[in-house]
Structure 1
Amino acid sequence: MKDANNLQFSKSVFLIPTIYIVSIWVIYWVEITFGYNFNKFGVFPRDLVGFRGVFLTHFIHSDANHVFNNSIPLFVLLVSLFYFYKDVAYKVLLFGGFLTGFITWLIARESFHIGASGIVYLLFSFVFFSGIIKKHYRLVALSLIIIFLYGSMIWYVLPIKDGMSWEGHLSGLVTGFFFAFIKRKKGIVKKEHQFSKTEFDLLFDEKGNFSPPKIEDELQE
């Protein structure tokens, strides 16, 4: 039974990451095969029609390199999310994805903003800061691995490269930190070790005063 549960859990950990990666590649394949251009469905800031991009932008990419560059970190970070934070994984992904797109819609330049980079930064930020906040050795180790693999991403929350939506990256980073803070008591939580009372402890009362048992009490026992 335990092996069956572990197998089912392992499948669920990889299911959503696999579906997400396959989805963005299928959507891009549809674009190039049938001559569509879905860029207009991305986030266009402070425009009512452009608000639909808040929900759609994370599935739209400009070219094959764009899809490929997002695919690997997306898969790694999604697996990390669903493995270590299975209780809140869907909320972080869905609500975090919406909030990332919404903040982009509020603050970004007037242009179409597309790509799953916002989700990448959301997950990167959530996993990293959760590990630090929880002070759990496994999560801290994961955080160090994440920062080692994708640490250079931090520079792209600044306007240092033309044609890149740094606003979407910044939105994801801020949103990830926000969710890491409000969900700090969810997922793996470091447990305080509780010591049982010894005979020595019984010699003291609740205030710490020395209070040995009475001889009469011992005789009655």
Structure 2
Amino acid sequence: MSPARRSPAKRVIPPNPVLSAAVVLGFVGLLFVVEGIDTALGGRLDASGVRPRDFTEWDNLLWAPVLHLGWDHVTGNAVPLLVLGFLASSGGVKQFLQVTAVIWLTNGLGVWVFGSPGSHIGASGLVFGFLVFLLLRGLFARSAAQVLVAVVVFALYGALLLGVLPGQPGISWESHLFGALGGALAAWGVARDDRRTVAA
């Protein structure tokens, strides 16, 4: 049995880096396309974010992460999404999509239940989710290489974690917090599945 098969969660570089890069670039590109459409509509999509405890618009949590409050907002999320998303795909594209789904849904549901009133939009919840996923994955998997990646990631983006604290006007700290919790859940799940694979 090959090392990659024995421990897929311990990879640092995706098994197919070109495909992983294309998927992450495609998603980030979609954010800019959506923002272009929103700009053409005069910002009408900005009201379609997660609206806490509003049963008439609960489904907004499915697309809120692709909506942004202007070009500065989407551009600010683009670079960390590209870097963190690519690193988070080291277990393969299928696992990356699963990790993204866990973060996406944990973020949306958490904000819907506990968030402050208003429309919560933006991909920053995913950014925080990928960041925490990378920080914890190496510890759960007991991988020295992954821990080293986590140290580098923390050095580059660790200051972002302050965004889970309330008190910054116009910032959905709830999205950051629940995105981070989703990343922790995804890291635990990936490590658990890896242990089952090794045991099998």
TM-score by length of 2: 0.85
Q: Looking at CA atoms only, which structure, 1 or 2, has the larger radius of gyration?
A: 1
Distance change (3 Å), C-alpha of 1:134 and 1:85: farther
1:32 aligns with 39
Gaps of 5+ in 2: 1-14
TM-score by length of 1: 0.77
| 1:135-167 superposed Cα distances (whole Å, 9 cap, x missing partner) | 212111110111111111111101131110000
1:159 aligns with 166
Distance change (3 Å), C-alpha of 1:68 and 1:114: same
Whole-angstrom distance in 1 between the partners of 2:140 and 2:182 = 15
Shift of 1:49: 2.5
Shift of 1:99: 1.9
1:183 aligns with 190
Whole-angstrom distance in 1 between the partners of 2:38 and 2:93 = 33
* Helix, strand or coil at the partner of 2:89: helix
Shift of 1:106: 0.6
Could you say what the CA RMSD is over the residues aligned between the two structures, in angstroms? Answer: 2.3
* Residue 77, structure 1, aligned to residue 88, structure 2: no
Shift of 1:33: 2.8
Select the structure with the greater relative contact order (CA < 8 A; seq sep ≥ 6): 2
Whole-angstrom distance in 2 between the partners of 1:28 and 1:52 = 19
* Residue 60, structure 1, aligned to residue 64, structure 2: no
Gaps of 5+ in 1: 1-7, 192-221
Whole-angstrom distance in 2 between the partners of 1:142 and 1:171 = 23
Q: Which amino acid aligns with 1:152?
A: A
1:205 aligns with none
Whole-angstrom distance in 1 between the partners of 2:115 and 2:192 = 32
2:12 aligns with none
Contact 1:100 1:172 in 2 (8 A): yes
Query: Higher helix share goes to which structure?
Result: 2
* Residue 89, structure 1, aligned to residue 101, structure 2: no
1:102 aligns with 109
Q: Which amino acid aligns with 1:95?
A: V
1:102-181 equivalences in 2 (<5 Å): 102-181=109-188
Distance change (3 Å), C-alpha of 1:141 and 1:186: farther
Shift of 1:126: 0.9
1:14 aligns with 21
Distance change (3 Å), C-alpha of 1:31 and 1:86: closer
Count of residue correspondences: 185
Q: Which amino acid aligns with 2:42?
A: G
Shift of 1:25: 0.4
Whole-angstrom distance in 2 between the partners of 1:96 and 1:58 = 11
